Amino acid sequence: MDVKEVERNIEVAVNLLKALSNEKRLMIICALYKHERSVGELEAIVDLSQSALSQHLARLRKDGLVDTRRDAQTIYYSLNDCATKSILHTLYDIYGDASPLSSSSS
């Protein structure tokens, strides 16, 4: 690997870690770890106003961490980034799945 490629990889890693460093965004990502969820479901889980949630989701979309799917009036979000899934898997291994999301259905 040349220096330029290492620098690009570091930049990608830094952006991912910045996105995950916000407590609410990490909670959103955890909610999407195993399940696709609607905006309404995420709003209830993360305990944010729809406006604040939309801003966090926009950041996660911009960073390429989530995908969206529309079904009539409902927008669903899903986690699409393998690196993010790997990091979450590691966090669950270290800290356990003590998240309130582990008992959530769908």
Q: What is the pLDDT of residues 3-34, one digit of tens each?
A: 999 999 999 899 899 999 999 999 999 999 88
Q: From the centroid of its chain, how far is CA 76?
A: 13
Domains identified in the chain, total number: 1
Give me the DSSP letters along 45-100: HHT--HHHHHHHHHHHHHTT-EEEEEETTEEEEEE--HHHHHHHHHHHHHH-S-SG
Q: Is the pLDDT of residue 101 over 90?
A: no
Instruction: State which residues form the domain around 95.
Output: 3-103
81 vs 67 pLDDT, higher one: 67
Q: What is d(CA 76, CA 94) in angstroms, rounded to the nearest whole number?
A: 29
Q: Is the pLDDT of residue 99 over 60?
A: no
CATH code, 57? 1.10.10.10
